Amino acid sequence: METTKDLPIQRYQKGRLEPTHDRVVVEEPLEIRLKGEPFQMLMRLPGWEKELALGFLLTEGIVHNLAEVITMHFCGTDTDPLLPPNVVDVQLTDPAMARTGRRHLEVAYSSCGLCAKEAVAEISRKVAPVAGDLTISPPALLGLMDRLTESQTIYHETGGTHAVALATPGGEVFLHAEDVGRHNAMDKVIGRAFLERRDLSKMVALLSGRLSFEMALKAIRAGIPILAAVSAPTTMALELARELNLTTAGFARNGRMNVYTHPGRIV
């Protein structure tokens, strides 16, 4: 599946424009359908379509476990030739379908009247705190962050993607994905981990960018206890992490990091 394209451009350097080519990352829509009905449109990097759909449904609180997923069909697999391109159709159990009718878009608080503290309090009433006693040493965590950087092949080629990885502290399991959207990359690796029936309470999440509220919420809903990012966190992400027992680390690069919340897991 094509993830990059070579496109003609004009490059300005040394005082002049010259024709050349550049590798550009591919972005395409993916429609998630539930029982044949349109539900969500995501702009994404092609690849891991089923994982993306499953991870999205999990981190949005619609699906709680794999038993609630009856079937998943992606048109690219030829399992359903009647589906149009770039569509994943998911058949869910009735309890999961019932949650779609009262889906709360917690990440959209910027358009409503809640302040950050009220938003975090509202989510904390609906989302369980992260459990588990997973620990990791600082050198091990920084080593995994270096591994994430090395794995970003599409980014190194185009500069146009984010990356997320899920890994065990010793690195025996290392699942990583790139995408044009950091949220998609997170959903892809979570979806892959669920399909492989991994225990997410025994894994750490690694981000190539900043540690935002949305990424913290996805980690919490998936039950991931440690979230580390190469860049900075936001205040609302840290408030949510502090409230719901998520360990967070930022600026994890070049042999250093800042541990912001629940530092007991970094030993």
- The residues that are catalytic are 112
Give dist(CA 87, CA 81) in Å, integer. 11
Give dist(CA 251, CA 233) in Å, integer. 9
Task: Say if CB 233 and CB 210 are below 8 A apart.
Answer: yes
Give dist(CA 119, CA 240) in Å, integer. 9
Task: Say if CB 58 and CB 194 are below 8 A apart.
Answer: yes
Give dist(CA 215, CA 221) in Å, integer. 10
Backbone angles phi, psi at 27, to 5 degrees: -125, 130
Cα–Cα nearest to 62, from 103, 93, 33:
103
Give dist(CA 230, CA 208) in Å, integer. 5
Amino acid at residue number 22 = D
For residue 48, is it left (φ>0), alpha (ψ between -120 and 50) or beta?
A: left
Give dist(CA 1, CA 181) in Å, integer. 18
Token pair in block for residue 135: 């620990």
Task: Say if CB 173 and CB 40 are below 8 A apart.
Answer: no
Give, as one character, the DSSP assignment of residue 77.
G
- Strand 226-229 relative to strand 247-253: parallel, antiparallel, unpaired? parallel
